[in-house]
A and B are shown apart, each in its own frame.
Chain A
């Protein structure tokens, strides 16, 4: 044990660095005075009460949830169908289509956001929650496609062929064989997309107008400087995301023997 002491010290230092800002964020969300810096007075829940009573924040929260779930569902369906088509059918230029579908992963969100803004402006499409959702499908579709495609192995293909031989049509095969066999991958892709959409700022910022998502609302709160209310919202977002991750972990991994 002692021989490894430098290792443990180093690991503790890195963990400290990783947790420092989040720890400070959560601690000072319970601050009882107007500034989230030392000395700490409290604990108090007044800033949580304040943000839960702020209609703009709760509206943004609701919008975020709607956009995250709706855009992730669309991204998952489109990504799954494309992955199925490319994995199970002979398609010409299939590696080109694969490259095209995953290409948005390599482009900065800022550039995607700006391209959408210019396109929506040029086509006269008004900025709304719908346009944010469209943007979030663009960033999550490649992710869903890649995750599902990588999980479509020969094992499921044999089951699918057996079902076909027994007379099932293609949609029956997809819904009754492929989807149930792939569901851990589908679940993971969906919730990863939800967390990406939930956290996405720059697209939501540029292609929204009156209805905004939570990160955009947080952005406008940041302009007022350091404020324990921002800490409270941030801590809430943190807990929400951690809850989703634990749910994912529980469903996907705990069933298998370790």
Chain B
């Protein structure tokens, strides 16, 4: 160990003493539950009894029982749609905040954009119900404008879930894309201009490719948070179709079928891991 290193001399016992509480907590209340869940997913629930014979029955059921498999497909469809819409809405907004808003107002503009998200997550979804439901703001607006004759409802279906999600993730993506745009050196654009590129070519060939990390980090966070969320679809989505987290909660709450719920949770984690591996090369957070 050299003198210039910021670390102290090795002092193993004390270091382990400092590290131990956090590791123990994580092991007991995060790793152990995951292991128990993995084991449960191989067991079965018959009637009120837990059968501890190891089998892949729950995973076979997932593919065999259409309502289980369909909830994953629904979740994937909603999540991909939400991610795409959010990127499309957030990119121009982040660009305007970073490039058009005067420097000294930018912090204020960002705080303003984040402000509504400090309300409770539950309440935010409920608020969309006020806007979208029958007799709500939009319905009322359409009646006043004479576009419809009767109150209309936009709540309780997939589009309401998507709107509720997009609302949150536009904010998230705006932040990651804004952060990325701010750290692009101005010289890159000057260089492109000097070499004869117009504003559009500069954007397409220089600015946009350099903001891909910001887009990907935001999109990954969106995907992960969206596919695992129970609240938004439970409040806004109605009962006609279920997303995977709703199916999991159904197994826990109504049926106390922890083995099936565990298997579904394992599948959800597998999907997220696969998406992570697919975009891992973009996800170097320190590049932001």
B-contacting residues of A (Cβ < 8 Å)?
Answer: 4, 7-8, 10-11, 14-15, 17-22, 24-25, 28, 35-38, 77-79, 81-82, 84-91, 97, 100-101, 103-104, 106-112, 114-119, 122, 134-135, 137-138, 141, 145, 153-154, 157-158, 160-161, 164, 170, 195, 198-199, 201-202, 206, 214-215, 218-219, 222, 226, 230-231, 233-235, 237-238, 241-242, 244-245, 249, 258
Cβ-defined contact, B123 with A101, below 8 A: no
Bin the interface of chain B by size: 35 or more
Given A38-B137, A79-B22, also A89-B268 (CB < 8 A): no
Question: Which of B7, B10, B171 touches A18 (beta carbons < 8 Å)?
Answer: B171
Cβ-defined contact, B268 with A111, below 8 A: yes
Across the two chains, which residue of chain A brings its CB closest to B101? A11
User: Could you tell me the distance between the alpha carbons of A145 and B30 in the complex, rounded to whole angstroms?
Assistant: 15
Within 8 A of A (CB), among B103-122: 104, 111-113, 115-116, 118-122
Cβ-defined contact, A90 with B129, below 8 A: no
Scan B219-235; emit 1 where CB is below 8 A from any A CB, else 0.
Answer: 00000110111110001
Cβ-defined contact, B119 with A237, below 8 A: yes
User: Could you tell me the distance between the alpha carbons of A110 and B250 in the complex, rounded to whole angstroms?
Assistant: 12
Chain B positions within 8 Å of A119 at CB level = 29, 32-33, 36
Chain A positions within 8 Å of B33 at CB level = 112, 114-116, 118-119
Cβ-defined contact, A21 with B127, below 8 A: yes
Chain A positions within 8 Å of B34 at CB level = 107, 111, 115
Within 8 A of A (CB), among B224-260: 224-225, 227-231, 235, 245, 248-249, 252, 258
Given A15-B113, A22-B116, A119-B33, also A106-B131 (CB < 8 A): no
B167 close to chain A: CB less than 8 A: yes
Chain B positions within 8 Å of A84 at CB level = 18
Cβ-defined contact, B29 with A138, below 8 A: yes
Cβ-defined contact, B140 with A118, below 8 A: no
Given A24-B127, A118-B40, A137-B25, also A195-B224 (CB < 8 A): no
Cβ-defined contact, B268 with A90, below 8 A: no
User: Could you tell me the distance between the alpha carbons of A235 and B30 in the complex, rounded to whole angstroms?
Assistant: 33
Chain B positions within 8 Å of A100 at CB level = 23, 26, 31
B76 close to chain A: CB less than 8 A: no
Cβ-defined contact, B130 with A24, below 8 A: yes
Chain B positions within 8 Å of A242 at CB level = 115, 118
Cβ-defined contact, A202 with B230, below 8 A: yes
User: Could you tell me the distance between the alpha carbons of A218 and B122 in the complex, rounded to whole angstroms?
Assistant: 8
| Interface segment out of the listed B51-59, B63-71, B90-98, B204-212 | B90-98
Q: Can you sample 20 A-B contacts with CB below 8 Å? A: A18-B167, A37-B133, A38-B137, A82-B18, A107-B272, A108-B229, A110-B229, A110-B245, A111-B228, A112-B30, A114-B37, A118-B33, A119-B32, A141-B22, A164-B8, A195-B118, A206-B252, A222-B235, A234-B126, A237-B123
Cβ-defined contact, B92 with A10, below 8 A: yes
Question: Which of B12, B14, B122 touches A201 (beta carbons < 8 Å)?
Answer: B122
